[in-house]
Amino acid sequence: MHILFVADPLASFKIYKDTTFAMMREAQLRGHHVLACEPQDIMWQSGHKVTTRAQRIHLTGQADAWFEVQGVEEHLALHSVDAVIMRKDPPFDSEYFYATHLLEQAEREGAKVFNKPAALRDHPEKLAILEFAQFISPTLVTRDAQAVKDFHVQHQDIILKPLDGMGGMGIFRVKADGLNLGAIIETLNRDGAQTVMVQKFLPAIAQGDKRVLVIGGRVVPYCLARIPQGGEVRGNLAAGGKGVAQAISPRDREIAEALGPVLAARGLLLVGLDVIGDCLTEVNVTSPTCFQEIFDQTGCNVAAFFIDALEAAVQH
């Protein structure tokens, strides 16, 4: 197969932990051809198909110069490759939104895109949990500052976060004393201009914010618990959390098996569920990670699961 990865600049990859790199490596091991481009390389012109400027690359196996470009940059139609993998990291901003529309046009022209562009738009990573409320902790989504204060009175210990944050950015904890709650609301809510999510604090975060992976509707048997370090409340690896791979719990499996087939049927080949204790906290669909950390610590080849599912989806 010819597989096109739409991703961040290749030079920015930290290949010791990059999930897109792990996908590329597994694809190449199986004899597939790996191509790469960035979202800004994708274009459409009337009378033509959706095209991109793509590099055909070969992974060298070296740590530094980890890839080499083969031949000249190609100008190709997206429908001409076997699979397009959308792996651009958040934020899900206007340009990401526009890219999904170009990818959706490519689908209409015959391209096979994973994750499905419409599904990327329909599942904002924090708000997607609302559909599965039976698995979440007490949660409020609002622009109303007073509603946030009332929620704090009811639950005493709460987490506030912006809907467009990533890597733990902009997350605040307010305990029973309510210290700085007003200032935090002002910062996140911007006088009612911006919607915030508020959740009851889950003490189980001390054991980690677990990333549970679902590929092609099937649950990966190991997860990565991102454990907060020092006085930090956030477990995100980007915020200094420590990643510890472990077998998924019966509750993790219950949640993942309930969501997996539903999300897969919507065109989400790869989903990363965030679970704290027994509660679902996020549904990650843009560029779920943790393949390499799980493989390095357990030997479970998550990238192989993914390429298996991709091969099956392309042949379907």
List, by residue number, the catalytic residues. Answer: 126, 161, 211, 226, 234, 274, 282, 284
Q: Output 144-152 pairs: Cβ under 8 A, ≥24 positions apart.
A: 144/192, 145/185, 145/186, 145/189, 145/192, 148/181, 148/185, 148/189, 148/196, 148/198, 149/181, 149/185, 151/198, 152/178, 152/181, 152/198
Nearest partner of 236 among 170, 163, 179, judged by Cα: 170
**Rounded Cα–Cα distance for residues 26 and 308 (Å):** 10
Cβ neighbours for 113, distance < 8 A, ≥ 6 positions apart: 78, 83, 84, 86, 103, 104, 106, 107
Please provide the distance, in angstroms rounded to a whole number, between the alpha carbons at the two ends of the chain.
Answer: 14
